[in-house]
Amino acid sequence: MKTVQELEAKLAQPSEALIKDIAAIDGDIMLLGIGGKMGPSLARLAMNAIKEAGVDKKVYGASRFSSGGLREELEADGVTTFPVDLLNDEQLKALPDVKNVIYMAGNKFGTTGNEHFTWAMNSYLPGRVAEKYRDSRIVVFSTGNVYPITPVYQGGATELTPPAAVGEYGQSSLGRERVFTHFSHKYDIPMAIYRLNYAIDLRYGVLLEIAKSVKAGKPIDITMGHANCIWQGDANEMAIRMLNACSTPPTIFNVTGPETLSLRWVANEFGSRLGIEPIFEGKESDTALLSNSAKASKQFGYPKVSILEMIDWISEWVEADGHTWNKPTHFQEREGKF
């Protein structure tokens, strides 16, 4: 992949499993918070799967649409958009009722110093959305940050690991889950909680940050030492397919790749492709923020894009100075401060 257009086309390419599953979903789909990193490509993927399945279904997207041109691009792709502030109750109530909701709204970066907004977005808004969409099924985007840091040898937190969120972002994200779960019980709303850790494409993510540091000859902090990641296209597919796995009370899925990745190994893989010796600082800890995705793999199959494919693609992208987003993951953060 050499261009953003090729990348977007790849991200929007549905698998046979998604085409089959989207045909089985009754009703239209609403993406709340479509303007984030994953929303636009998820919407395009859903649109393409609907076309391939030959079914009559609409995809809606609600967001502030603060970035210029995104709303027009999505409309051109067939997505019906709604410019709204979801914290504005009247605007939220005015959105159309739909059978299927993928809830992607939230706040992470910039939490420090603006904690009140993060809690409003991550823990208050879910209650308002659950009241509005009490007759829908809802996939709730969450994060692996609700888990504690765990020993590397354990292979990552499972869905049965008791949450122990560190920092206000992780705590408020756990608040999101708890509030949605309350309303799932109250109104018998089928839900699935989608704990993501971490999605990547060629423009952002853990792997890109490491590749850029290798190319620039910058030291790579390996104190965290290990991480998980998943190709954004695979993560998007699971979010849509999860609409068929909703239940009351909510079922939980860890969404990430199957490997516990050594960041030293990742950097050396980029180094061999870019012809540059990586520079490291720090020493790997015995613990890391890791998720075990075995349950999601059993339900939806293993991700289609492998870790070595991702490393190959990102190496080529970085060598060609491909377009990137200034949206760091802060994967090195061990204290939960974002």
Average pLDDT, whole number, for the chain?
95
Strands 150-151 and 287-288 turn out to be antiparallel
CB 43, CB 31: distance < 8 Å: yes
* Spatial distance between the Cα atoms of 227 and 263, rounded to a whole number of angstroms: 7
% of the chain exceeding 70 in pLDDT: 97
With a cut of 50, list the residues of the chain below it in pLDDT. none
CB 101, CB 82: distance < 8 Å: no
* Residue 310 belongs to some domain of the structure: no
274: tokens are 């870019």
**What was the pLDDT predicted at 274?**
98
CB 249, CB 184: distance < 8 Å: yes
* Residue 220 belongs to some domain of the structure: no
* Spatial distance between the Cα atoms of 105 and 120, rounded to a whole number of angstroms: 11
* Residue 87 belongs to some domain of the structure: yes
What's the number of domains the chain is made of? 1
**What was the pLDDT predicted at 333?**
67
pTM of the entire structure? Answer: 0.95
- What is the DSSP track for 121-167? IIIIHHHHHHHHTTTSEEEEEEEGGGSPPEEGGGTSB-TTSPP---H
* Spatial distance between the Cα atoms of 286 and 262, rounded to a whole number of angstroms: 12
Q: Is 264 exposed, middle or buried (0-12, 13-18, 19+ CB in 10 A)?
A: middle
**What was the pLDDT predicted at 139?**
98
Range of the structural domain that residue 191 is part of: 4-200+228-257+287-303
* Residue 99 belongs to some domain of the structure: yes
Indicate which CATH number applies to the domain containing 35.
3.40.50.720
* Residue 265 belongs to some domain of the structure: no
* Residue 334 belongs to some domain of the structure: no
* Spatial distance between the Cα atoms of 258 and 305, rounded to a whole number of angstroms: 11
Measured between its terminal Cα atoms, the distance across the chain in Å is 32
